[in-house]
A = this chain, B = another copy of it.
Amino acid sequence: MRTEVCEMFGIEFPLFAFSHCRDVVAAVTNAGGLGVLGAVAYTPERLEEELRWIDDHVGGRPYGVDVLVPAKIDESAARAGRGEGGLDTMLAAVPQEHWAFLFALFEKYGVPLPDFEKAKKANSKGGTQVTTEGASALIDVSLAHPIRLIASALGTPPPLMVDKAKAAGVPVAALVGTAEHARRQVAAGVDLIVAQGGEAGGHTGEISTMVLVPEVVDEVAPLPVLAAGGIATGRQMAAAMALGAAGVWCGSVWLTTEEAETPPPVKEKMLAATSRDTVRSRSRTGKPARQLESAWTREWEGPASPGPLGMPLQMIIAEGAMRQINKVAETGNPGARELANYFVGQCVGQMNAVKPARQVVYDMVQEFADAVDRLNTITG
């Protein structure tokens, strides 16, 4: 395929794969797309390992890294995280009421409590990475590798990130959910906009991909735009590019690939889910994020809930709890299976078979060509 982003990144297909799993990143890059590693869950040390592994497996082909630099986080929690106390201080900022609700939830669903002191420490890692300091360390690690793209998954990338990336000659991408945000990203110096519709998994706004993409394309022209949200097939890729996108950014579709490290009970749920089985909820990160509907989302959004906390505190609670829930769910515990969930978009309804990631790429490219052929038949 020939598009501006194919030339910009030296790739065959303008298909960007966001994944937390290095195997998916490498597989998509090797298949002619561009894999982007979601780094938020990693410590700098772990990220260093992952990127070294990717370098060893892509033979110099282009890949990228995605960090989460929230424009607005719970500042008191962030300050606590920056202080001497570190994680402990941040954990202390979680109200007792929320721990109590969480413990009651475990009891209600018959899930044994983890060693919570240990778990709290392990959990808190997800939370600290979304502070400015945490993200900054991940950026430094990333730029020391031959990455070809650095992306900000949430909010305008801070000058620090843009400056460091530009100095390293690495283009910066940013995800946006409105044309207004796109305008701000361009002003911040971003090179590539990812317009993400509300049907997407993870943090997302409410405007659909069909409406958002042409708005953002018109807003930021001549800057290239990738479309995200609801794209898991070649027909959807063709649709996105008919809307004016220069390529697509897919996240959900990799979660049921052979390579994905998605916890087995969650993978099963995704394979069985229809497009109706997702919900936009604050219960995992503190910000609205689309995910599988499960007992977890229902309980946190329900009448007995104290309400999800902000980011990053809710993330601290949720990530640790989910680690235990997934572990217990794998043993067949029915309550844990009810609670288990993960971020995924509405296209989960089309994710019905486990395939290798490279096969997903090839199928999308083939179906894209078929869709264009069909359109040509219509115009005659």
Contact = CB atoms under 8 A, between A and B. Distances in A.
A22 B354 CA distance: 51
A188 interface: no
Nearest to A279: B206
A340 interface: no
A209 to B, nearest CB: 5
Contacts of A198: 208
Band of interface residues on A: 35 or more
Nearest to A238: B242
A2 B378 contact: yes
Nearest to A178: B276
A229 B210 contact: yes
Chain B CB count within 10 A is highest, among A235, A240, A372, for A235
A234 to B, nearest CB: 9
A377 B2 contact: yes
A276 to B, nearest CB: 6
B372 A379 contact: yes
A231 B2 CA distance: 26
Given A235-B242, A242-B242, A372-B372, 20 more contacts: A1-B380, A180-B274, A197-B210, A199-B210, A207-B346, A207-B349, A208-B210, A208-B229, A210-B239, A211-B230, A211-B347, A211-B349, A214-B236, A215-B349, A215-B350, A239-B243, A241-B375, A241-B378, A242-B375, A368-B379
21 contacts: A1-B379, A2-B380, A207-B349, A210-B236, A210-B240, A211-B230, A211-B346, A211-B349, A214-B233, A214-B235, A214-B350, A215-B350, A238-B243, A238-B375, A241-B374, A242-B372, A242-B375, A244-B374, A369-B379, A372-B376, A372-B379
